Amino acid sequence: MKGIFTALITPFHGDGKINEKGLRQVVRHNIDKMGVHGLYVGGSTGENFLLSKETKKEIFSIVKEEVGTQVKLIAQIGSLNIEEAIELGKYATDLGYDALSSVTPYYYKFSFNEIKNYYLQLIEATGNKMIIYSIPVLTGVNFSLGEFDQILNLPNVIGVKFTDSDFVKLERLKRLYPEKTFLFGFDEIMLAGCVFNADGAIGSTYNVMGDKAVAIYNLVQEEKIKEAMEIQSNMNQVIEVMIQHGVYQSIKEILKLKGIDGGHMKFPFSELSGEGKEEVKKIMELI
Ligand code: NAY
């Protein structure tokens, strides 16, 4: 579990149903054109937290069918409802997903022990490998080093999707747990994450700039940081526009301009504005 993983977008039809043809095209684009090492399915980027259990299963199934064993697959199954999370975890495991990932339980201010017990139940029930999805900025759950120590020592926990800019914590964690996998979650500073010893990255913008992320990842292995910074800086010109107009919306528009059916957004997300479309068109030459 190393390298660049695309946090897969989900193309929807206008009525909110899965656009299967589009989803298959996006998967193919990621594997055949972007050359990423794996896909992270059911993350924030996939608009997962807006979906029913059945729709989540449908996505896991279509993606696995399209991918086969071509690249690594991680299924994000986290849900506040533990029964749903377990059911999704078993489903993805039976489909052959290489690992599961679960966001730290959010909304309620759960204690650390409650969060730990949540992971324990998930791991025991599914028997698959688990990558902890830590994204303090959205969940408010920010593990200390001591808490990470307890979480990383749970059975089957193989690593962390580290969506945080605390580089000191990242460096300390990798030093303490060299055998665990740390996948960095902020695309605009992924180079820094890799320099601070992350094993790779998971990101939404890799749906359209995965080739660049792979190049940065490879350059860091070769210790060519200046060249890697050049690419990161180019990526950031695009990401800046994306953040301004909606990251997921912009990715879908870029895919569309490349002839891939990125589909619609899931309500209550709105579609890309007219101004956003104009701005995205202007940065296409950088992609
Ligand atoms: C997910 O679960 O899909 C992710 O966390 C992917 C990581 C992305 N963060 C979010 C919240 O979607 O790729 C990043 C992010 O879009 C990027 O850094 C631009 O800010």
Ligand 1 centroid–CA 6 distance in Å is 10
- Residue 242 domain-assigned? no
pLDDT grade, residue 40 (50/70/90)? Answer: very high
pLDDT digits (tens, 9 = 90+) for 242-255: 999 999 999 999 99
The pLDDT tens digits for 187-218 are 999 999 999 999 999 999 999 999 999 999 99
Distance CA 74, CA 38 (A): 8
For residue 120, tell me if it sits in a domain: yes
Q: How far is the CA of 229 from the centre of ligand 1 (A)?
A: 20
> What CATH number should be reported for the domain holding residue 211?
3.20.20.70
Query: Residue with the nearest Cα to atom 11 of ligand 1?
Result: 44
Is 114 part of any domain? yes
8 Å CB contact between 37 and 200: yes
Atom index in ligand 1 nearest the CA of residue 239 equals: 19
The Cα-based distances of 13 to 56, 200, 219, 265 in angstroms read 15, 32, 39, 8
The closest residue, in CA terms, to atom 16 on ligand 1 is: 204
- Residues of the chain above pLDDT 70, percent: 100
| 267 assigned to some structural domain | no
ipTM (interface pTM): 0.97
pLDDT at 200: 98
Q: Which atom of ligand 1 lies nearest, measured to the CA of 135? A: 5
Count the neighbouring beta carbons within 10 Å of the beta carbon of residue 246: 19
For ligand 1, the distance from its centroid to the CA atom of residue 240, given in whole angstroms, is 13
C-alpha Rg value of the chain to the nearest Å: 18
Domain count, the chain: 1
Does 216 show up as a binding residue in the annotation?
Answer: no
Q: Which atom of ligand 1 is nearest to the CA of 7?
A: 3
Residue 270 within a domain: no
Question: Cα of 203 to ligand 1 centre, how many Å?
Answer: 5
Residue 202 labelled as part of a binding site: yes
Find the length of the chain: 287
**Domain range for 158:** 3-223
Q: How far is CA 15 from CA 12, 18, 257, in A?
A: 8, 9, 22
Q: Is residue 161 part of a domain?
A: yes
Summarize the confidence of residues 160-175 as an average pLDDT: 96
Q: Within a domain: residue 169?
A: yes
Ligand 1: residues within 6 Å at CB? 7, 43-45, 135, 163, 185-188, 202-205, 239, 243, 247
Return the active site residues. 133, 161
Query: Does residue 250 lie in a domain region?
Result: no
Q: Do 74 and 101 meet the contact criterion of CB atoms below 8 Å apart?
A: yes
